[in-house]
């Protein structure tokens, strides 16, 4: 079991693996990770003959293979954010980025501001010049660069180091006039027009934000919009769930396998339920989550190791006073692990 979740934690974001969980049949609860080349990476329950069924998936989904149903997931990598500068707005962006699950690096050449980033909870803090610090960060298609320095000169230093790096997002804070001047200077220095056009400047969605907190919300809203705009199919598990899966404590791991309608969380979302009723993660909250917790606790008192349940959150499926506003139906697989 630990091998399966440890393999998911390796975050093979290039789509080179499919993580599989058997939902029904005699092998219910068994796991395996298939490589795109068709070879098993972990687990012994799956014959290689199942590979053609599983390697065709392009998003988290349930597939039928022989006489069983299998949840097939494409593990994804946790996104990272690099914040250049740690003033009042950047500090609030850092707080919000951590809440939504980013691994955050903060760069600032002022020791007192670097210390504040550490206190808030940045995963990595580099107290150095922006130019030298950014040379240490290669960038990739899961990296979000947020430039919020204290001056035009530092903005340019950051942009010159980042604009040609691979990235998911590059944004810069500033007035429209300041941003236009920066773009003109980039053009004068020979930066590619396509890269300049991709720069989000001024940064953030236009929501009339004024305070540092409001501006941070507008920035994170834009980041979320970009994050989901490409409709990526990878299944990114929060670190807390992967840690819980491997903590050695007896628990039930609940995972959404199918979603219909407007249910709040997607297939592949997990929640751990411990014997004392405490949980790690969430699969949507409300009455639906409470029912999953109840079923999980019942499972741990039974002789079974797995269960597979359907929850109807529409008005027709629940008493009117309990029906959730989001509606929809989900199927949830429950499995006792330690």
Domain 80-229 sits in CATH at 3.40.50.720
Which SS3 state, helix, strand or coil, does residue 100 take? Answer: coil
Per residue in 169-207, pLDDT tens?
999 998 888 888 888 988 888 888 889 989 999 999 999
Euclidean distance between CA atoms 32 and 41, whole angstroms: 7
- Is residue 277 within 8 Å of residue 251, measured between CB atoms? no
The residues near 223 (Cβ < 8 Å, ≥ 6 apart) are 81, 97, 144, 146, 169, 171
Q: Assess whether pLDDT exceeds 50 at residue 325.
A: no
Per residue in 75-110, pLDDT tens?
766 789 999 999 999 999 999 999 988 999 999 999
Per residue in 225-277, pLDDT tens?
998 775 444 556 777 888 888 888 999 999 999 888 766 788 888 999 999 99
Q: Which of 98, 73, 116 is nearest to 233 (CA)?
A: 73
Would you kindly state where each structural domain of the chain is located, as residue ranges? 1-76, 80-229, 237-338
DSSP 198-250: H-B-S-S--S---SHHHHHHHHHHHHHHHHHHT----B---HHHHHHHTS---
- Is residue 43 within 8 Å of residue 30, measured between CB atoms? yes
Tokens of 220: 């994170």
Q: Where are the extended beta strands (E) located within 108-178?
A: 124-126, 143-147, 169-172
The residues near 268 (Cβ < 8 Å, ≥ 6 apart) are 60, 71, 73, 235, 237, 255, 256
Per residue in 29-67, pLDDT tens?
888 877 766 555 555 556 556 666 676 777 778 888 767
Per residue in 110-161, pLDDT tens?
999 999 999 999 999 999 999 999 999 999 888 999 999 998 889 999 999 9
């Amino acid at each position: 079991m630990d091998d399966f979740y440890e393999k998911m934690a390796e975050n093979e974001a290039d789509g080179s693996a499919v993580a599989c969980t058997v939902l029904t049949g005699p092998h219910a609860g068994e796991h395996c990770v298939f490589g795109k080349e068709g070879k098993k990476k972990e687990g012994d329950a799956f014959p290689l003959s199942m590979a053609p069924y599983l390697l065709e998936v392009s998003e988290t989904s349930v597939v039928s293979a022989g006489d069983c149903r299998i949840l097939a997931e494409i593990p994804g990598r946790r996104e990272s954010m690099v914040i250049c500068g740690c003033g009042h707005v950047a500090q609030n962006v850092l707080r919000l980025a951590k809440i939504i699950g980013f691994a955050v690096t903060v760069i600032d050449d002022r020791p007192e501001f670097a210390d504040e980033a550490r206190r808030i909870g940045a995963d990595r803090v580099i107290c150095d010049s922006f130019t030298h610090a950014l040379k240490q960060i290669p960038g990739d298609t899961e990296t979000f660069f947020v430039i919020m320095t204290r001056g035009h000169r530092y903005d340019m230093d950051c942009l010159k180091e980042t604009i040609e790096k691979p990235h998911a997002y590059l944004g810069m804070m500033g007035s429209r006039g300041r941003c236009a001047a920066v773009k003109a200077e980039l053009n004068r220095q020979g930066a590619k027009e396509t890269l300049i056009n991709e720069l989000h400047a001024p940064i953030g969605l236009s929501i009339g934000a004024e305070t540092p907190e409001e501006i941070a919300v507008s920035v994170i809203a834009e980041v979320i919009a970009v994050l989901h705009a490409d409709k990526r199919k990878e299944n990114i598990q929060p670190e807390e769930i992967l840690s819980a899966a491997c903590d050695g404590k007896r628990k039930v791991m609940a995972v959404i396998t199918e979603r219909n309608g407007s249910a709040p969380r997607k297939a592949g979302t997990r929640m751990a339920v411990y014997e004392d009723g405490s949980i790690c993660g969430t699969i949507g909250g409300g009455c639906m989550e409470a029912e999953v917790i109840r079923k999980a606790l019942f499972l741990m008192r039974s002789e079974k190791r797995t269960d597979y349940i359907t929850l109807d959150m529409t008005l027709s499926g629940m008493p009117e006073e309990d029906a959730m506003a989001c509606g929809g139906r989900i199927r949830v697989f429950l499995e006792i692990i330690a």
